[in-house]
Structure 1
């Protein structure tokens, strides 16, 4: 196989799909604009070589602010002359699980050369639900049509899941379809963010950058800052309830644990969350159904936030250490 061709070296490959995911207020949109406009202007993205090409932004939330403030503010901050400002903002809503909308988008893209499409935000780019299999398959089919018929790369911005902050909030079929996964962690008070490559399907999956968000020309602009690093979660002391839930997970894995194979699964046994829940409920036979349910939810959230367990596709496992 040939070496990958990079649109942004080490970050996004040509003719590929990438998802950038993180919590709300992690500065994902500002980083996506920073990447997109680096491609649009052809200037290096923080010392990473860029292949120059047109960029189309599909802003499903806050399009007015993106077009009126954020994009012009980035250009002004970087002193880009008016004649070199060529990014486009798609003028209407998009439903990438609807064939007619995909056809209209492709027709617009064929009027100019676009090397990159930035979709922000994922949840607003479909008619159906982001957790439905039917929607997922239609959306992925639409994305593949865009790749095939235009040759552009696609960067999609998404929120993390409700229960699992280690992956985007979406059906597994969506999640498995992306060629690249980029994780963003932000600190709103410190005005910092990190961007980490979690996976490239066809290239070395490494790379992490720290940024400080600076106010400039009515927007926030990321500036590289080597002192900003990815935060390491510190394990918290377990309460009695959480310790019992973790012991129940040991029992559930011992009785029902299975090995799953694939790049998203760990090298250890996993168990379905419902099986774990049954074992937790056995520890509190006198409690009401509602009390058991609330206790399990508290323990699951605390153990995950503390780095003791991880989730994928409705399965759970214990983290090393």
Structure 2
């Protein structure tokens, strides 16, 4: 056995910080039955959709001495450089730099560990909806890998014995630059024309690999080029273009194709499934029947995630899972999409009366997530956003421009898509919904957030008070969530009696993981945002925002906000900020009683608790001489409204 460094993953923080998921690969020196090296291949079937727990993946890699891979999301692309395939006398990477001006020094950079011909992985951001070819004509040895692909993680060991390592001058992974627009344009995959036959795309890449094991690649060698070409076209059709790597790996079993994987991949990328294609899955089946074979059937265990117990992997015998209490306790907690407000992959509603600025709040959150910028001091998970603007679409452009101006984000990349077409998520026949969900996943890929604005405009003919009609609507929201991985938020109206919450059937409230009420002040200059239901986390107190002019629209500016973690105790600085805000708005002072009332309303606590918190933040002995300092440098203290008349009470004053 070849000696090599043991895979080492002491520091995976760069991947976690960039929100990239690690998956298990085979051991670095693993060999397949047909002699192929497996050290860079995923260890599990259905790895593109299998759910992985980060801690368990690391523990498994350490226990079994496995390599790790990075499962690439839709908004990340890795430029994979393999100098073995550079044409004689031509460095394709230098040519790409000269032709496009791409700045590789700005891209996080991994050295691939190939001791014979070192390669490179350069990480870039890209629009989630942009689907790229893996190879480009004229740049042999360069591949663009994104959604549906994985690359080997730093710390793994290459089959030649070298270690994948971060380049010494590599920028932080979290600082991935955008792939230049000219490179994006030249690498973008042409739009596919939908195939008429229902068997297009019927095979998964894993199933294609099992199917091809029945065929000898040497029977399709260079002297049998037409047979090889027909087989490639049939495999491309059968997987709708997704079986690229599996077909390349099969070809490498023929010595004539050794070290020609880039050429095979380039030929694959030149193919397109279309309505008039004559070479289909039937052609693949014909070649299989020549050797007494047929399309492989999926193994029963492929329908389930593999569970591990004491280092052994057993196939599940049914689709039901029964968890012990220890397993329940080990389940990961919900992940925040917007810290303290919105959970990832959840179903939620933002509701309020007409003109309460519900859509302002939805746009505000959508822009933060699409850009990766914080939401008023709260962290967000950056990712793609789909905004379904069934109501008020013309005004959204102004709101989004105002948001950018207010946040100084005019030059920042936003992964946001807008849809204005008619959509009925409550239709009795769900064919239209299924087609819409398929279009979203095909064109946009994984998303972090989908906003439906509003329920009324996307539920044509439905009765909002009907549990049956709203049940169909909820089912459609869940289809979108499950297909995209996004949190799906619907904007809705409150009923005539605002105190009773959302309008319509109680089935809506029952299905929601989170509900957020928006209430506009009587003067129209501010709103209160209150989370009324938070299924899997502690509910926070209300938040207040002023509506302020920016560009040609309005933006939300927070007053004083509750701690984003949900635990107010000990956050005396927030009391100081609230007092500073209220006193400034009232000419320099605010009665202690009014400040206590504001704390009661905002934090949902009793008057006694509110006054205790104020005393901790701004004690009675806190005077002008030893005043508390606010975040902007202003001073905050207490003093009697009139020293000669104690009945007039205490004022909290501010200055500066």
| TM-score between both structures, scaled by the size of structure 1 | 0.67
Structure having greater relative contact order (Cα 8 Å, sep ≥ 6): 1
Q: What is the CA distance between 1:195 and its match in structure 2?
A: 0.8
In structure 2, the partner of 1:106 is 437
Distance 1:195 1:167, change over 3 A: same
Q: 1:194, 1:230 within 8 Å by CA — same for their partners in 2?
A: no
Q: 1:13, 1:153 within 8 Å by CA — same for their partners in 2?
A: yes
Measure, in 2, the Cα distance between the counterparts of 1:100 and 1:94. Answer: 12
Distance 1:41 1:188, change over 3 A: farther
Deviations 1:98-125, CA, capped at 9 Å, x for gaps: 3233223322321223210111112111
SS of 2:499's equivalent in the other structure is coil
Residue number among 91, 95, 120 corresponding to 2:453 in the alignment: 120
Superposition map of 1:7-86 within 5 A:
7-66=337-396, 68-82=397-411, 84-86=413-415
Q: What is the CA distance between 1:171 and its match in structure 2?
A: 0.9
Q: What is the CA distance between 1:92 and its match in structure 2?
A: 0.3
Q: What is the CA distance between 1:50 and its match in structure 2?
A: 0.3
Distance 1:131 1:231, change over 3 A: farther
Q: What is the CA distance between 1:83 and its match in structure 2?
A: 5.3
SS of 2:468's equivalent in the other structure is helix
In structure 1, the partner of 2:465 is 131
| TM-score between both structures, scaled by the size of structure 2 | 0.34
Q: 1:29, 1:120 within 8 Å by CA — same for their partners in 2?
A: yes
Q: What is the CA distance between 1:230 and its match in structure 2?
A: 9.0
SS of 1:114's equivalent in the other structure is coil
Q: What is the CA distance between 1:87 and its match in structure 2?
A: 1.3
Superposition map of 1:207-218 within 5 A:
207-218=541-552
Measure, in 2, the Cα distance between the counterparts of 1:105 and 1:230. Answer: 45
> Which is worse superposed, 97-106 or 113-122?
97-106
Q: 2:528, 2:544 within 8 Å by CA — same for their partners in 1?
A: yes
Q: 2:385, 2:416 within 8 Å by CA — same for their partners in 1?
A: yes
Runs of 4+ in 1 over 4 A off after TM superposition: 227-232
| Structural RMSD (CA) | 2.0
Q: 1:59, 1:121 within 8 Å by CA — same for their partners in 2?
A: yes
Measure, in 1, the Cα distance between the counterparts of 2:468 and 2:500. Answer: 24
Measure, in 2, the Cα distance between the counterparts of 1:230 and 1:59. Answer: 36
Q: 1:25, 1:188 within 8 Å by CA — same for their partners in 2?
A: no
Superposition map of 1:1-321 within 5 A:
1-66=331-396, 68-82=397-411, 84-98=413-427, 99-110=430-441, 111-112=443-444, 113-127=446-460, 128-187=462-521, 189-226=523-560, 227=581
Measure, in 1, the Cα distance between the counterparts of 2:435 and 2:340. Answer: 31
**Pairs aligned (count):** 231
Unaligned 5+ runs, structure 2 = 1-330, 561-580, 583-597, 602-656
Q: What is the CA distance between 1:163 and its match in structure 2?
A: 2.9
Deviations 1:141-179, CA, capped at 9 Å, x for gaps: 111111111111011111111134331112111121100
Q: What is the CA distance between 1:35 and its match in structure 2?
A: 0.7
Measure, in 2, the Cα distance between the counterparts of 1:63 and 1:159. Answer: 17
Which protein is richer in strand relative to its size? 1
Measure, in 1, the Cα distance between the counterparts of 2:521 and 2:498. Answer: 18
Larger Cα Rg: Structure 1 or Structure 2?
2
Unaligned 5+ runs, structure 1 = 233-321
Q: 1:185, 1:230 within 8 Å by CA — same for their partners in 2?
A: no
> Which is worse superposed, 152-161 or 126-135?
126-135
> Which is worse superposed, 221-230 or 157-166?
221-230
SS of 1:56's equivalent in the other structure is strand
Q: 1:5, 1:14 within 8 Å by CA — same for their partners in 2?
A: yes
Distance 1:4 1:135, change over 3 A: same
Q: 2:371, 2:412 within 8 Å by CA — same for their partners in 1?
A: no
SS of 1:24's equivalent in the other structure is coil
